[in-house]
Amino acid sequence: MKPTDIKNPEYFHQVVDCQYACPAHTPVPEYIRLIAQQRYTDAYMINWESNVFPGVLGRTCDRPCEPACRRGRVEEEPVAICRLKRVAADFKDDITSRLPDIPKEKNGRKIALVGAGPASLTVARDLAPLGYELDVYDEQPIAGGFMRSQIPSFRLPATVLDEEVGYILDMGLTTHFNHYVDSLKGLLDQDYDAIFVGSGAPRGRDLPDLPGRQEGDASIHIGIDWLSNVAFEHIEKIGKRVIVLGGGNTAMDCCRTARRVGGNDVKVIVRSPFDSMKASTWEKEDAVHEGIPIVDNHVPLEFVVEDGKLVGMRFEKVSAVFDEKGKRSLIPTGEEPVLFPCDEVLVAIGQENSFPWIEKDIGIEFDNWGMPVLNAKTFQSSCAKVFFGGDSAFGPENIITAVAHGHQAAVSIDLFCDGKQVNQRLPPGTNLLSTKMGIHEWSYDNDVTTDVRKIVPLVELTSALQNRTMEVELGFDVQTAFDEAERCLNCDVQTVFTDDKCIECDACVDICPMDCINFIENNDEPELRQSLRVKAVNADQDLYVSGNLETGRVMVKDEDVCLHCGLCAERCPTAAWDMQQFFYQVTKAAPLCIK
């Protein structure tokens, strides 16, 4: 193999599994260290700079970082990254003095933002400090988008959302609430320099052709619309017996909300097996904890309506069968269809995009699936001044993805307004700094604890179910947060190897608790992976290969389960190994958002 190019920022970036997995590439280990040092405000600002809504995401994020966490490969459970983020939000001081200054004198550019959800608000946050004039349009009376309409307040209290949305609205945005944009052409005809579309994926899927759908309509609701109606208090009650169809996170939110607004016999019924449901594991656990059975392997056959009233639903039992290619099909078991009686049904089987307000003849190209044709890097549509982001760009995802889109779209809009090429973007900001302070002393806490993952305490179940707005999770206290933060392996503190200092004494090989380090004959990657002390079977993790050493061998380090404990560097007599903190920051439109 060729020597690893550690000057390429993406190499060390990939070693920081959590940060790499995060769509917004939040510097996770850095803020976890700050939490351990009780520097909650600093930890919050690192987050705020990167993901804009730390308090919201600390409660509701889909957490792609956690399955990626190296700790999960070393022991069983990853670090509770998401809930540590909430700790930063819960314990921070007033941050208003650290927010960016908004120039009183504007730069003369005016941007329209369609939708006031996470994507649009991120674009606004990134562009406002540069002096952009920003007009936000939303059909709801208040900002927040699906963070407000679809995430129940027992998971995300309105105060938390209001605070973080408020930081952005206070940047001098012009808001047009209760204003449904019904024509993009109308916006294009105004004097906007660019338009950002962050209108989400507003249409919930239905089962229009299922027998009984029309007749039972009064008692059948689309999940996301129903959640939105509950959130805006248009709906306050539901029948006692409720069936929720679907296996995603919306289904989980529906069933738990139903449980709090009158449903006392609520069940989730899903086509697929429990293990392959789309909902996050922890959201399924939360639902089960609240006494909601999840009935899997049941495919809806019909809505049963008697005397014009919905009385139940009939399902066919199936089992999942996999063919040689691993493709799944649900095969009926041949058993009698099952009837589940119910008063109301919530259909939470997915959502899709819908752009009835975008005229077909204004130069915005759509693909066969009705999605706008976009450049995946710049988020620019086929109409140069129109950019998309969030769920409206590539279909339903999640908040953190919407934020990541927003940052990139803001960069594009800024370049576009400057008359520059939108695809010529600045590389990410990086830094690599030695943490060495003494022979056994580093500026990070390199001791590896054996603590298992801490559980977030919950409010008592009975009172939780009585109040739709009572937050269920209590969050970590200071001590638990510290203990959990200490579980972080500091993967951003990189093992940096300098070829010409190495005397090949093997001290690093001998001390490495994880057998990551090898001095062997060079070879092609597949052979090299097989010939290490412990075979490097995880192909997602890179091998760090040095140049040729004195003996003609090379140093090969398997990054997979490195604990970043620093012992290789402590035992190195020539400082050929050093522990260097790597900082990686996605380039934003405004170069420095935080003071």
| Residues forming the site for another protein (CB under 8 A) | 73-75, 437-442, 445-448, 450, 503-507, 509-511, 513-516, 534-535, 537, 550-551, 561, 563, 565, 567, 570-574
- Are the C-beta atoms of residues 319 and 333 closer than 8 Å to each other? yes
Residue 496's nearest CA partner among 33, 7, 19 is: 7
CB of 448 to another protein, least distance (A): 4
Q: CB-based burial of residue 178 (10 Å sphere; 0-12 exposed, 13-18 middle, 19+ buried)?
A: exposed
Residue 89's nearest CA partner among 46, 145, 27 is: 46
Residue 113's nearest CA partner among 436, 389, 514 is: 389
In the block, tokens 């990853």 appear at 78
Q: Please say which residue, 95 or 511, places its beta carbon nearer to another protein.
A: 511
CB of 202 to another protein, least distance (A): 45
CB of 532 to another protein, least distance (A): 10
CB of 439 to another protein, least distance (A): 8
Q: Please say which residue, 421 or 574, places its beta carbon nearer to another protein.
A: 574
Q: In degrees rounded to 5, what are phi and psi of residue 569?
A: -75, -35
Task: Give the C-alpha separation, 302 to 270, whole Å.
Answer: 14
CB of 177 to another protein, least distance (A): 53
CB of 163 to another protein, least distance (A): 38
Q: Please say which residue, 331 or 534, places its beta carbon nearer to another protein.
A: 534
In the block, tokens 């930081």 appear at 167
Q: Please say which residue, 68 or 404, places its beta carbon nearer to another protein.
A: 68
Residue 501's nearest CA partner among 583, 399, 576 is: 576
CB of 519 to another protein, least distance (A): 9
CB of 239 to another protein, least distance (A): 50
Residue 55's nearest CA partner among 156, 145, 175, 189 is: 156
CB of 34 to another protein, least distance (A): 19
Q: Please say which residue, 351 or 581, places its beta carbon nearer to another protein.
A: 581
DSSP 372: B
Q: Please say which residue, 323 or 447, places its beta carbon nearer to another protein.
A: 447
Residues 6+ positions from 593 with CB-CB distance below 8 Å: 48, 49, 100, 125, 126, 129
Q: Please say which residue, 373 or 503, places its beta carbon nearer to another protein.
A: 503
Q: Please say which residue, 433 or 575, places its beta carbon nearer to another protein.
A: 575
Q: Where are the alpha helices (DSSP H) in 346-457?
A: 391-394, 399-417
Assign 568 to helix, strand or coil. Answer: helix
Residue 40's nearest CA partner among 452, 593, 488, 477 is: 477
Strand 133-137 to 174-176 pairing: parallel
Alpha-carbon Rg for the chain in angstroms: 26
Q: Please say which residue, 124 or 517, places its beta carbon nearer to another protein.
A: 517
Helix, strand, coil content of the chain in percent (nearest 5): 30, 20, 50
